[in-house]
Amino acid sequence: MTRGYIFARLWQTLPMLLGVVVIGFLLVHIAPGDPILALAGENGDEAYYAAMRERYGLDQPLANQLGTYLWRLAQGDLGTSAIQKQPVSDVILDRLPNTLLLAGTALVISTLGGVLAGLWAASRVGGWRDRTVAIGTLLMYALPVFWLGQIAILWFGLRWGWFPVQGRTDARSRATGLAHVLDVAHHLALPALVLASQQIAVIARLTRATLVDALRSPHIDAARARGVSESRILVRHALPAALLPVVTVVGNRVGHLVSGAVVIEIVFGWPGIGRLLVSATNDRDIPVLLGLFLLIGFAVLIANLLTDITYKWLDPRIRIG
């Protein structure tokens, strides 16, 4: 893989990112509700509201507002939160590590869990393993994440007491070092597993299907003729070929992971950008909303870019437009 390919893909990403910014800007500004009323309350007079609109530039035509925003964005200025009175970049960066921890953990769990489940099912096609994975993944995919989160809290948190159900750490704890890491991991486990559940189902079913197809290929028959064991055939010969579609699905599911993280952070009280997005929407905090749209769009585009690069690295014969 050449550097030219990577630079070309990065160059192709820029117009899409600009499109995300423009569409997000338009959606936020045409949404119902007056951000000035949300900010200043409903007891002010018209002169006060007019002064506030002039202060935040909302008295300008929409095209002028968009041009001003893009110019500031090009200079690295995301604006200032109208509610928190802090730079948007600081507000987002304060929450971003928590969301990255949650989503990253869920991504690792879903990828490893899905591949292992698919591998286990494909080892006995039509047998009880295959049927168990089929039924389990169907249930995992069918259950809404919000509802599954509530059930997990009820049983694993409240009834059995295995996991904490709210927050990132114990509010009463003053632990540091390893004890703090273990406290965070304990709080992280349940929301990460719930967030990963639907992704596990998708990856497991895809892995199983691609493995079954790979096991029917001529080179697998040749390996069997040489006396290679079925377990070795499955892991060493069939699995590498089956992983290519899985890589694509993992990258394409990042958007679903982000949207699921918003729900999970609300259900489990996890202090990430999902909860920030909800509060900014309720408060009509336009600068924060625009910053979050930019961040989410950037994350999805970069994930797709990394997927293409990984796909081409795994199989250099493939040409990706």
- Residue range 288-321, pLDDT digits in tens: 999 998 998 888 888 878 877 777 776 666 555 5
Domain that holds residue 150: 89-314
Length of the chain: 321
pLDDT at position 123 is: 85
User: Looking at the domain assignment, is residue 75 inside a domain?
Assistant: no
SS3 80: strand
User: Looking at the domain assignment, is residue 44 inside a domain?
Assistant: no
15-29, 63-77, 79-93, 245-259: which has the minimum mean pLDDT? Answer: 245-259
Q: What is the rounded average pLDDT for all residues in the chain?
A: 85
pLDDT at position 9 is: 75
The answer to whether residues 202 and 114 touch, using CB atoms and an 8 Å cutoff, is yes
Q: How far is CA 217 from the centre of its chain?
A: 35
Is the pLDDT score of 72 beyond 80? yes
The answer to whether residues 161 and 152 touch, using CB atoms and an 8 Å cutoff, is no
pTM of the predicted structure, to 2 decimals? 0.85
Is the pLDDT score of 249 beyond 90? no
Quickly tell me which residue has 């309720």 as its tokens: 282
The answer to whether residues 145 and 263 touch, using CB atoms and an 8 Å cutoff, is yes
pLDDT at position 115 is: 93
pLDDT mean over 221-237: 79
User: Looking at the domain assignment, is residue 290 inside a domain?
Assistant: yes
158-162, 212-216, 281-285 — which one is most confidently predicted on average? 158-162
pLDDT at position 315 is: 63
User: Looking at the domain assignment, is residue 118 inside a domain?
Assistant: yes
User: Looking at the domain assignment, is residue 33 inside a domain?
Assistant: no
User: Looking at the domain assignment, is residue 66 inside a domain?
Assistant: no
CA distances to 124, 127, 131, 207, 246 from 234, in Å: 11, 16, 19, 12, 16
pLDDT at position 148 is: 93
CA distances to 19, 148, 201, 302, 312 from 308, in Å: 20, 32, 23, 10, 6
146-160, 176-190, 236-250, 281-295: which has the minimum mean pLDDT? Answer: 236-250
Domains: count for the chain: 1
pLDDT at position 264 is: 94
Is the pLDDT score of 196 beyond 80? yes
User: Looking at the domain assignment, is residue 74 inside a domain?
Assistant: no
- Cα(197)–Cα(214) distance, rounded to whole angstroms? 26
User: Looking at the domain assignment, is residue 251 inside a domain?
Assistant: yes
The CATH number of residue 126's host domain is: 1.10.3720.10
